[in-house]
Amino acid sequence: MSENRPEKILEFFIDGHPVTAKDGQTVIQAAREHGFDVPHFCWHPQLSVPGNCRICMVEVESDNGDPWFDIGCNMPVTAGMRVLLNSDTVKKLRKDTMQFITLNHPVDCGICSKSGECTLQDYHYEHNGAASLSRDRKNHATKFYPLSDRIMLDNERCIMCTRCVRFTHEVSKTHALGAVYRGDHSLIRPAEDANFNDDVYSDNVIDICPVGALLSRENIDNSRVWYTEPTASVCPGCERGCNISIWHRRQAWAFKALDPKLNTRIERVTPRENPDVNGPWVCNKARDLAKILERPRAEQPMIAGRVVDRADAIAAAAALLAGAKKVVALVSSWGSNEELAAFQLTIAASLGDRLTAWVKADHQPVPGEVIEDDILIKADKNPNRHGALALFPPLPAEGLTAIPADADVVLVWGEGVPAAALPQGAQVIRLDAWAHADNEVAAVFLPISIQTERAGHYTNFAGVVSDFAACFTPAPLVTHAETLFGMLLSAEVGVRRASA
Amino acid sequence: MSVRYQRKQYWNEPTMNWWEKAYLPEVLRGLFITTGVFLRNMGKWVTGRRGAVTTYYPEERRPDFAPRNRGKHVLTQRPDGSVQCIACNMCATVCPAKVIEIEPGFDANDPAHPKYPVRFEIDYSRCVFCGMCVEACPEDAIRMAPDVPNLVSDDRYNMWLTMDEMMTWRPQADVAKPYPPKPTLPVLPLVRDARGAHGVAGGVPSKH
């Protein structure tokens, strides 16, 4: 379609309802836009149309009473066509297609990780509901074939929709997967001239697989799907800020005898579709969020490495801030917009000219990590640098050496600042969530919560604000940075009043 | 307007005669009954006969459970002694008291049984012995046995029955409920063979 021609709107009918579609749209696209559900396995809104599963069969009524059946995913809408999605013949065709698709399926839902969110399972109950009519034995194929270090393929469960193959060809563009052999012997296999390990978006094929054929080797059989629930979150892996769902065990199903850590574990991470940020995809770093977030935590306030009460630590930090002539604050680029605003309204406002606040990078790219690509991954590995820079200037180019020698207090919020790089004479107040050796050498250390324990917003590199919610409860002495700044402010004001 | 308080009238309101309303004689009659039972039981106990059926649990255990009592879960085993359970969590999901907790394990080297329970625990302080777990199990891996676990504790957190305690039952030794033989796949004739046989038997030439 050329750009200058106005978009043609076609009118047609779905189950007797008049609806409109843009010229060039297929029946399944137009139907979904108007809230009609057309079953589909191989069709995916973001991928090309192979038309191999045949489950989206629809009926088109014709004037001479001789209806026409075709797959809705590959049939362009024409003006005035009368589409039936649920006629008796269509229902029968779907039922037969389901019989055919499940011909060699092992039906091992009892032990399948996909069970509970499997399209094949849903469609079986919706469109088939009958046992297999076949009297032949099922074909056996390879179980648990390793496609890469991350992905395992169960060929018996595979229905050859080729969504994963098209994903590597069209989205991640690694061309790492292909289909070999024909008929009921066909298999998904890694391509010989590519390596699926190099695909940094490979885990998306687990989500788009309509059955339980592609499995994460990391999270296999962690938990049945219905024991877990998703919490809306944002990936802190880079400044793209992909919208994700963090899956964790439901409170109602919390373990009582087994390890209580299983109740507060990130079971898996899936993308949360947001067309403005990440579409329906995320990279593998988001899937491995547990490796970043579930590092050993710092849970005790400390004064010079000695564990103290939270009130004592806050009083000591407030005394340092109140008595300082020149304070340098290194602001976290992992803080939420709310926390950054709280910092600006409390500590920054109270200290006024005595404070120099700079936004630092909490995380640098780790060796071997993809720095940047033209799909999702961005070079800055901090989720809210954009939001922080809206309030505070960035750390000067010379880095930590820019901290003036006469600064008597340095407030370090977040990770990425080694104690050795800070001026020797300055007292360090450190706010961090994870255990580091540097926490013990700080004059005052206060533990703060991590992203999965609090709610907030991040602003990504393009200025799009995404929200995240809390999944878990923080440890008793771990404080939200937002609350902590308020406590520090009131203590600091108290110290100044007493000395005045 | 004043509110009139009136006792609610029940359909089974007791009707008492004058003697019962006098209260004291009825109390004495009640005491006489209890004392009589006490003395009768004590008399039997002193003379070594069977008196009140008190079992001094946990030193003594009742031998006279009903024959159909099913008070303990057992996990059946495959002929090689490994646990039959596939950790599908159907029992844990169906359990109305939510007392079953299973930690699954994965073994890719055993494609026939890739999933198995690492830990399988039942909280007997909350189990209602409804048997739904047995009904839900697709593998006949959990059964309830005519037994009662000896869980004596003053702490309900000690009343979890672990997998090793539930795997003491040997299916081979149980004559009442024998272990099902290994299923053999029936050799089915192919569809086209059956059709051909029908054609010959009926004497009707096939249309194809």
- Spell out which chain A residues touch chain B, with contact meaning CB-CB distance below 8 angstroms: 110-111, 135-137, 143-144, 152, 220-222, 224, 226-227, 252-253, 255-259, 262
**Alpha-carbon distance B86 to nearest alpha carbon in chain A (angstroms):** 7
CA A164 to chain centre: 19
pLDDT for residue B190: 44
Distance between start and end Cα atoms, chain B: 97
Nearest CA in chain B to A154: B111
Q: Judge whether A395 and A348 are in contact, CB under 8 Å.
A: no
**Which among B98, B121, B188 has CB closest to A135?**
B188
Pull the structure tokens for residue A300: 């005790």
**Alpha-carbon distance B182 to nearest alpha carbon in chain A (angstroms):** 18
d(CA A452, CA A448): 12
Return the C-alpha torsion angle A297, A301, A305, A306, nearest 10. -130
Pull the structure tokens for residue A5: 């021609």
Burial of A437 (0-12, 13-18, 19+ CB in 10 A): exposed
pLDDT means over runs of 10, chain A (500 residues): 72 95 94 95 95 95 91 94 95 95 92 94 93 88 91 94 96 95 91 93 96 91 92 96 96 93 94 95 95 94 95 95 93 96 94 93 92 94 95 92 90 93 91 95 96 96 96 94 95 89
**Alpha-carbon distance A172 to nearest alpha carbon in chain B (angstroms):** 28
**Alpha-carbon distance B190 to nearest alpha carbon in chain A (angstroms):** 7
pLDDT for residue B179: 59
> 């198995």: which residue's tokens?
B116
- The pLDDT tens digits along chain B (208 residues) read 577 788 888 888 888 889 888 999 999 999 999 999 999 988 988 888 876 667 778 888 777 788 888 999 999 888 778 899 999 999 999 999 999 999 999 988 888 888 999 999 999 999 999 999 999 999 889 999 888 888 888 898 889 999 999 998 766 666 555 555 555 655 544 444 443 443 333 333 434 4
pLDDT for residue A4: 67
d(CA A320, CA A404): 17
Which residues on chain B are in Cβ contact (under 8 Å) with A222? 104
CB contact under 8 A, A137 and B185: yes
Mutate to test the interface with B, among A139, A217, A221, A263 (most CBs of B within 10 A): A221
pTM: 0.86
Q: Judge whether A53 and A127 are in contact, CB under 8 Å.
A: no
Q: What is the pLDDT of residues B44-103, one digit of tens each?
A: 888 888 766 677 788 887 777 888 889 999 998 887 788 999 999 999 999 999 999 999
Pull the structure tokens for residue A452: 């999965």
Pull the structure tokens for residue A11: 């009118």
CA angle A303, A304, A306 (to 5 degrees): 65
pLDDT for residue B195: 39
pLDDT for residue B185: 55
How far lies A60's CA from each of A1, A24, A29, A127, A228, in Å?
25, 17, 16, 19, 42
Which residues on chain B are in Cβ contact (under 8 Å) with A227? 89
The contacts of residue B35 (CB under 8 Å, 6+ apart) are none
ipTM of the complex: 0.85
pLDDT for residue B28: 96
CB contact under 8 A, B86 and A111: yes
CB contact under 8 A, B101 and A136: no
CA angle A295, A300, A304 (to 5 degrees): 110
CB contact under 8 A, B111 and A144: yes
Which residues on chain A are in Cβ contact (under 8 Å) with B192? none
CA angle B104, B109, B112 (to 5 degrees): 75
SS3 call for A317? helix
CB contact under 8 A, B114 and A110: no
Q: Is the backbone peptide bond immediately before B58 cis, with ω within 30 degrees of 0? A: yes
Give CB contacts under 8 A, 24+ apart, made by A264-270: A264/A472, A265/A290, A265/A294, A266/A290, A266/A293, A266/A294, A266/A452, A266/A471, A267/A219, A267/A222, A267/A223, A267/A228, A268/A216, A268/A219, A268/A222, A268/A228, A269/A235, A269/A244, A269/A245, A270/A207, A270/A230, A270/A244, A270/A245
